[in-house]
């Protein structure tokens, strides 16, 4: 059986949603990020070498880390990933953009100490990260224009897309102004699997 190590409100919400959608029995294992459980020696040694979530324990007991790998794997397993080659390439393009650009912009807001040794630089790093993150949310809003679901059909991309709307709201960005993105968030919240995850992860809007 699959086991998902996730943090409430973290980027692991994407695979968490996908697993809830799957209908397959899995073990959800909450990691308390605020308490630093992800930095415990046993976690770093056995679950995720970087001390992060998400981490997925596979059926054979081995670990898979990084959303860029976990989401395509789960999506293919549960029919939530495009099937033709070009559509798959486009899905990887979106996942890559999210993991390598959108998520790191947000990290500059919450974890400036990872980007400079001088605390005097932190406010500027936070501010720049917030402006960049807001810009990317606007870009995602544009990507959603005229679409119910990002890839045409509901897929892992929508679960990942949802995470950044939640973060935008948490960072008090004017996300409601993003009409396509807000409609997408509302569409997501009508899905029972998303409602269960939002309740468990205490997501607020
Ligand atoms: N590139 C990784 C990022 C993982 C990541 O940074 N996760 C955050 C939560 S969103 C985390 O575990 N933070 C805890 C920490 O940095 O101590 C992925 O997409 O899987």
Delimit the domains of the chain by residue range.
Answer: 3-77, 85-191
Residue 5, CA distances (Å) to 53, 117, 120, 131 in order: 6, 30, 34, 30
Please tell me the residue having the least CA distance from ligand 1 atom 11: 52
Q: Is the pLDDT of residue 64 over 90?
A: yes
User: How confident is the model over 178-192, as pLDDT tens digits?
Assistant: 999 999 999 999 999
Which residue among 8, 9, 11 is best mutated to probe the pocket of ligand 1, counting the most ligand atoms within 8 A of its Cβ? Answer: 11
Q: Which of 95, 110, 197, 108 is nearest to 140 (CA)?
A: 95
Please tell me the residue having the least CA distance from ligand 1 atom 9: 10
For 3-77, which CATH superfamily applies? Glutaredoxin (3.40.30.10)
Identify the pLDDT of residue 204: 84
Does the 85-191 domain belong in CATH 1.20.1050.10? yes
Please tell me the distance between residue 134's alpha carbon and the centre of ligand 1 in angstroms.
19
d(CA 186, CA 179): 11
Residue 83, CA distances (Å) to 23, 79, 87, 154 in order: 20, 9, 7, 13
d(CA 108, CA 103): 9
Please give the number of the atom of ligand 1 that sits closest to the Cα of 53.
Answer: 12
The two domains 3-77 and 85-191 share their CATH topology (first three levels equal)? no
User: How confident is the model over 124-157, as pLDDT tens digits?
Assistant: 999 999 999 999 999 999 999 999 999 999 999 9
Residue 51, CA distances (Å) to 14, 34, 48, 162, 200 in order: 18, 13, 5, 23, 22
Per-residue confidence at 70, pLDDT binned at 50, 70, 90?
A: very high
Residues with CB under 6 A from ligand 1: 7, 10-11, 33, 38, 51-54, 66-67, 99, 103
- Reported in sequence order, the residue ranges of 52-172 that DSSP labels E, i.e. its strands, are 55-57, 63-65
Identify the pLDDT of residue 145: 98
Contact 62, 79 (CB under 8 A): no
- Segment (H or E) for 13: helix 13-22
Which residue among 5, 36, 53, 167 is best mutated to probe the pocket of ligand 1, counting the most ligand atoms within 8 A of its Cβ? Answer: 53
Q: Which of 4, 92, 9, 8 is nearest to 55 (CA)?
A: 4
Please give the number of the atom of ligand 1 that sits closest to the Cα of 7.
Answer: 9
Strands 27-30 and 3-6, sheet pairing: parallel
Identify the pLDDT of residue 205: 79
């Amino acid at each position: 059986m699959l086991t998902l190590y996730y943090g409430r409100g973290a980027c692991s919400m994407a695979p968490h949603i996908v697993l809830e959608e799957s209908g397959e029995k899995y073990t959800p294992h909450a990691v308390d990020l605020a308490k630093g459980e992800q930095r415990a020696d046993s976690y770093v040694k056995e679950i995720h070498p970087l001390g992060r979530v998400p981490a997925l324990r596979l059926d054979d007991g081995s670990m898979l880390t990084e959303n860029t790998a976990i989401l395509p794997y789960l999506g293919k397993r549960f029919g939530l990933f495009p099937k033709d080659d070009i559509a798959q390439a486009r899905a990887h393009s979106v996942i890559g953009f999210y993991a390598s650009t959108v998520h790191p912009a947000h990290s500059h807001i919450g974890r400036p100490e990872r980007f400079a040794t001088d605390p005097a630089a932190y406010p500027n790093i936070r501010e720049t990260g917030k402006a960049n993150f807001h810009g990317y949310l606007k870009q995602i809003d544009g990507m959603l224009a005229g679409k119910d679901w990002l890839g045409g059909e509901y897929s892992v991309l929508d679960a990942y897309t949802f995470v950044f709307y939640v973060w935008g709201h948490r960072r008090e960005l004017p996300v409601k102004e993003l009409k396509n993105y807000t409609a997408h968030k509302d569409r997501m919240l009508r899905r029972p699997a998303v409602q269960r995850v939002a309740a468990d992860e205490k997501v607020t809007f």
